[in-house]
Amino acid sequence: MLLDLNQGTGSASPYSFGFKSFIMAPAFRKLSGYSLLIGSLFMVLTMLLHPSGGDMQHILKISRVAIISHSLGILSTVFSAYGFYGLASALLTPSRLSFLGLCFAGFALVAVMLAALLNGIVLPLYVLQQAPVAEESLTPVKLVIQYGVTINAALAYVFIAGYSIAMLIWSFGMIRAEKFPYWLGIWGILLVGISVVAALFQLNFISVTGFTVYVAGIVSWIISAAFILIRKSHSIDTI
């Protein structure tokens, strides 16, 4: 995936495994771009199909849709992780700062995967199992549901914080390394800035609407980066 330019020359480079030693294989760049597109598509489908929360009866009604939509969300994390690895590789410099962004992105993806698993699969299955319980015995079930909602909210904040930091690091990398269009780096920084301002004004990011708006913003940035990776897949870019 990363090719050594010094191989066979017998010369050593001060940037061994660094900025001037490697090129990104076109096939790796192309596959990374397509992985980002697929991950974004599944993320959008998850938000479109995502049912709003409610009481136990409502969860029973939407259980099948919830399981399907959140399964797509979990699948999106796999494609996104590979795509982010390719993006970080495309932005590689001697400092490996883009890989710090990859660490934050990975942290965010783990959080959103756990949120989708708990809220979209574990919770509906648990409610389905407890459905036959008599009404007077539902208090413990309701407490478990509320506990799950609280955990889901915390994981959503971890995802938002982790991904925002990753996008900020990569956006600055795009501007400094000039490997991506300047406007994409500016767009990423603006998205993070808008998110910070919205948080200061106490926008509820963990509501279905708030989270959808945030995801729409980051997906626009991811898709743009994906198309650029694919478009440049037939050229050799020194990284």
pLDDT value of residue 210: 80
Give the model's pLDDT for residue 8.
43
- Is residue 110 domain-resident? yes
If one counts every other C-beta atom within 10 angstroms of the C-beta of residue 64, the result is: 12
* End-to-end Cα separation, the chain, in angstroms: 12
Q: Looking at the domain assignment, is residue 74 inside a domain?
A: yes
Q: Please give the pLDDT value at position 77.
A: 95
Write out the two tokens for 226.
Answer: 């994906």
Query: What CA–CA distance (Å, rounded) separates 39 from 34?
Result: 8
* Domain hosting residue 136, numbered range: 30-231
Residue 79 counted as domain residue? yes
Residue 227: per-residue pLDDT: 94
pLDDT value at residue 207: 77
* 131 part of a folded domain: yes
Residue 77 CA to chain centroid, in angstroms? 6
Residue 134 lies in a domain: yes
Ordered per-residue pLDDT tens for the chain, 239 residues? 555 444 444 443 333 444 443 467 888 999 999 999 999 999 989 888 876 656 667 777 777 888 888 899 999 999 999 999 999 999 988 889 999 999 999 999 999 999 989 888 888 888 787 777 655 566 777 787 788 888 988 998 999 999 999 999 999 999 988 789 999 999 999 999 998 988 888 777 777 778 888 888 999 999 999 999 998 765 544 44
Query: How far is it, in rounded angstroms, from Cα 18 to Cα 14?
Result: 8
pLDDT recorded at residue 26: 85
Is residue 10 a part of any domain in this protein? Answer: no
Number of domains in the chain: 1
Q: Note whether residue 238 is domain-resident.
A: no
How far, in Å, CA of 232 to CA of 234, rounded?
5
pLDDT (0 to 100) of residue 59: 73
**pTM exceeding the 0.95 threshold for the entire prediction:** no
Does 100 map to a domain?
yes
Name residue, tokens 């990859």: 102
